[in-house]
Structure 1
Amino acid sequence: MTTIQNQSMPSSLMSSMNGTKVPAGSASATSAAAAAASANSTQGIKDNFMKMLVAQMQYQDPTQPVDSAQMTSQLAQLSSVDGINKLNDSMASMVASLQSSQAYQASTMIGHTVMVSGSSLQLTKGQGSFSVQLPSSADKVSVNVLNASGQTVKTINLGSNSSGTIPVAWNGKDAGGNVLPDGAYTLQVMASSGGKSISASAATYATVNSVSNAGGSVMLNLNNNTSVGAANVIQIL
C-alpha cells in the first residue's frame, strides 16, 4: 500500500499568500513596502493569482484533485478584471485628451465678449449691460438692481415682452438719479403673465481674459473677476 505524505508549502509562498507582516525598521521593510505596492497593481494581482494557482495544483490532495471547472472559472474572472482595468485606463486617456482639446478650442474666445447666465453685474465707467431671458411671453417684467449690501438701488421696468432675450442697458444711476460707484451689483428679475409668476433669469456680458482647466472642467476667466464654465456661455459677441 502506497503511503501519501502531506507536503508543506514553502514559507516564502505562505508568507506571500497569508500577508505576513515585516516589522517596521527591519532591513527588508523597504522591499516589503515596494512588494506590497506592486501586489496592489493589476500585474501584481495577476502574478499573485498565478502563484497561488500553481501552489494549489502542486500541493493538492491527490485523492481530491482540484476541479478543473473552478480553475477555468477563476482564470476567466481574472481575464475579465484585467480587461476592465485596461478599458478604464483607455477611457481615462480619452477623457484627458478631450479636455485638452476643449481647452484649446476655448482659448479662441480670449478677448471676446460673451453673454453668460448669472445675476452678477459689474458696473464699469457708469455703464452696465445685461439681458433678461424670458421662457415665455410676460405682461410685466422688471429688474431690481441690488448693491453689495443687498439693498435695491434701482428698479428697471421693462413692461410686456414676448419670449426670448431682452437686452437692457443701465446708466449706473439709482432711483433718485444719483450716479452710483463702479463695482459689483446683483440683478433680481421678476416676470409675470396674468398674475402668475414666470421663471425668468438674467444674463450678463463680460470679456474673456483667460482659459483654465480646473478639476477636469474648462473654465473661462472673465474681466469681472468671475469664472464660468464654457457650457454657461449663451452667446459670443
Structure 2
Amino acid sequence: MTSLAPITASGPSRDTPTPTGNRPLGQQDFLTLLTAQMKNQDPLNPMDNAQFMGQMAQFSTVAGIERVNDTLMGFGSVMRDMRLSAASNMLGQSVLVPGTVAQPDKDGAIRGAVEVQAPVQSMVISYSDARSGTLLHTQTLGPQAAGRAAFEWTDLPPNLAATRSPVRITIDAMQNGEQVPLDPQVYARVLSASAGTGGDDITLQVEGFGAINMLEIDAFR
C-alpha cells in the first residue's frame, strides 16, 4: 500500500503572507493579504463586495497620497535649486532695502527709491555725511504721483566715491500745503547667499544691512 508523506509545519503556507519586518507594506503585500483573507474567510459569512471595494479604496487612497507627497518633495527640491540659482545671479548686484544710509555703488553713485502713498506737490532729497552729519547735496523734485519714485545722486565728490563713505538720506515732501517726511529705500550690494536648514528660505547677506530673506526683496539692479 502506498504511504502518504506526513504534513509538517516547517515552512509558511502558500496562502500565508511572508512577514515584511520593518519595511512598509506595498501594493503586492496588500494583494497577498487580501487573497489570504478571501481564501480563509468564513464560508457562512463571506466578505461582501462593499467590504472588498472599501479595502481597495483605502489602499488606493493611501498609495495616491504617498505618490503626491513624493511629487511635492521633488518639486520642493527643484524650487530650492531654482531659488539658489537666482540668488547666485544676484551676487555683486544691488537690492532695494529699507534704510536711510547708503554707500556709493560700483558706479560711484547713490541710488534709492521712496514709496509715495498719496500724490505730493514737491519732494526734497537731502544727502549728508553719515558720520559727521554735514550736508553734502540736495535735490528738489517736482510733483510725484502715488507709487514708487526713484532717485539717484551720480556726481559725488571723487574722494567720497573712492572711499565709499556712508551717506545718510532724508526725504521731505509737500502734501496739501504741509511738509511730510517719507521713508527712503536704498540700493545695497549683495555679498553672499545661503539656504536655510530646511532648504526653504534663501538668505542674502547685504552690505551694511546684514541678513535679509530673499522673499523680502522686490527690486534689484
TM-score range, shorter chain: 0.5 to 0.7
Q: Which amino acid aligns with 1:216?
A: D
Q: Is the 8 A contact 1:132 1:166 kept in 2?
A: yes
Q: Distance in 2 between matches of 1:50 and 1:184?
A: 73
Q: CA RMSD in A?
A: 4.4
Q: What SS is found at the alignment partner of 1:226? A: strand
The equivalent of 1:117 in structure 2 is: 97
Q: 1:66 to 1:201 in 2, by over 3 A?
A: farther
Instruction: Answer yes or no: is 1:213 the counterpart of 2:198.
Output: no
Q: 1:47 to 1:194 in 2, by over 3 A?
A: farther
Q: What SS is found at the alignment partner of 2:204? A: strand
How many pairs does the alignment contain?
Answer: 177
Tell me how far 1:190 sits from its aligned partner: 7.3
User: Which of the pair is proportionally richer in helix?
Assistant: 1
Tell me how far 1:53 sits from its aligned partner: 3.0
The equivalent of 1:106 in structure 2 is: 87
Give 5+ residue unaligned stretches, structure 1.
1-11, 13-33, 146-152, 170-181
Tell me how far 1:118 sits from its aligned partner: 1.8
Q: Deviations over 1:50-73 (max 9, x none)?
A: 465345324422111001232123
Tell me how far 1:74 sits from its aligned partner: 1.6
Q: Distance in 2 between matches of 1:82 and 1:57?
A: 22
1:227 aligned residue (212, 215, 219): 212
Q: 1:158 to 1:118 in 2, by over 3 A?
A: same
Q: Distance in 2 between matches of 1:99 and 1:56?
A: 46
The equivalent of 1:204 in structure 2 is: 186
TM-score by length of 2: 0.57
Q: Is the 8 A contact 1:119 1:188 kept in 2?
A: no
Q: Distance in 2 between matches of 1:228 and 1:143?
A: 28
Q: Is the 8 A contact 1:119 1:202 kept in 2?
A: yes
The equivalent of 1:172 in structure 2 is: none
Tell me how far 1:220 sits from its aligned partner: 2.5
Q: Aligned residues: percent identity?
A: 20
TM-score by length of 1: 0.54
Tell me how far 1:95 sits from its aligned partner: 2.4
Q: Which amino acid aligns with 2:53?
A: T
